[in-house]
Structure 1
């Protein structure tokens, strides 16, 4: 099935936590539509390769460092102008039994999973409020809604990110800023994680996810969606 093309309803996009999956698919679609796209990750070599593959511009920053995030937005502004669409996509796992989790690993997972989202949303909001509009999206997971045994280090960050999205939506929506949270409830397809031959479409296609993000971005403010669950048709929930 060929996914339909769509004109991107933004001029400047910033994707933080860029990788080859969801954010890579979205960056390709946005760049192809004519939007100026900035993608950011901590690994400069990885993000440079992704920029070559998507047509986006590469930036590096640690999303958990307030100064680095502030500089990132300044650098994007200097090159393209202020972003009117920002996606926070990073996550980090600290899995294992509660009694054996390393506190430092859990602190890092929390910082990447939620605190970085706050820093990015804060910088985005400071620029979008004077403009009277924009969109801030967050990528969540199954763990945003339910925490499984052994997943405390991951789920705490996703729960907190969802709370941030809810608070930001209530605060920023009346100022013309669309805040949305996406629950990715299932495995995302990749070269390393293809669908089994006997179970087609049993994982989420990154391009299909990107289509939903773009459809949400294009919504009229009289009918904004705040939270959307995405899962394969065979996924249990």
Structure 2
């Protein structure tokens, strides 16, 4: 079995996903990202449909055979739909649910029991402001994020006694990427820095067992709430 412990980032796009892979790699882990299309560049990003159980198991099985069960798993997928409720199709709702909830179910079913067998680890699920509040034009997105939060609560109560630290994060703000700067025209100082957030996720994964957090919110100092 390889020396480096395994970290999985499901939904490893630019921004937080890339920052997590960099942070985990810098800390000496075998960091692997999963996205539908794969990727190129400095990080190990593999193409995988996270909603396809067979494809996901086929991707994860050789990694876990070589490195053992992952010590850190981050579920970081998103499918954003912003439109009036009456214009939002059932397909829009289904796409949000599949991207954020079904993918978390498939990921958890693949990794949580192996993590228990190997002595534990940390499973972090990225939520959003919409995990707590359904805004106008966010019916599809918020309903899926609400479901994801409930799923994560259930996983925490199921697996924390077995040694897996399950955490739901609420990202209350816009993550600073070139695309988000163009879309939102915000002052970068009012945005969440991906590297800072990756460091916060690393800290969550290393909380002492006597002080485990289940839900943590992160927002820029300038963000109202």
TM-score (norm 1): 0.87
Matches within 5 A, 1:1-237: 11-44=5-38, 47=39, 49=40, 52-53=41-42, 56-194=43-181, 199=187, 201-237=189-225
- Give the conservation status (yes or no) of the 8 Å contact 2:12–2:45: no
Write the distance in 1 (CA, Å) between the matches of 2:77 and 2:212.
Answer: 24
Report SS of the residue matched to 1:201. Answer: helix
Report SS of the residue matched to 1:83. Answer: coil
Structure 2, unmatched stretches of 5+, are: none
Following superposition, the deviation at residue 199 of structure 1 comes to 4.3
Following superposition, the deviation at residue 180 of structure 1 comes to 0.4
Root mean square deviation of aligned Cα: 1.9
Write the distance in 2 (CA, Å) between the matches of 1:108 and 1:168.
Answer: 22
Report SS of the residue matched to 2:33. Answer: strand
- Give the conservation status (yes or no) of the 8 Å contact 1:186–1:231: yes
- Give the conservation status (yes or no) of the 8 Å contact 2:130–2:146: yes
Cα 1:200–1:40 shift into 2, 3 Å: closer
- Give the conservation status (yes or no) of the 8 Å contact 2:75–2:104: yes
Write the distance in 2 (CA, Å) between the matches of 1:158 and 1:16.
Answer: 16
- Give the conservation status (yes or no) of the 8 Å contact 1:216–1:225: yes
Write the distance in 2 (CA, Å) between the matches of 1:84 and 1:173.
Answer: 14
Q: How many residues align?
A: 221
Following superposition, the deviation at residue 132 of structure 1 comes to 2.4
The CA deviation string for residues 186-207 of structure 1, in whole angstroms up to 9 with x for no partner, is 1110123349999452000001
Report SS of the residue matched to 1:132. Answer: coil
Write the distance in 1 (CA, Å) between the matches of 2:109 and 2:122.
Answer: 12
Following superposition, the deviation at residue 34 of structure 1 comes to 1.2
- Give the conservation status (yes or no) of the 8 Å contact 1:124–1:136: no
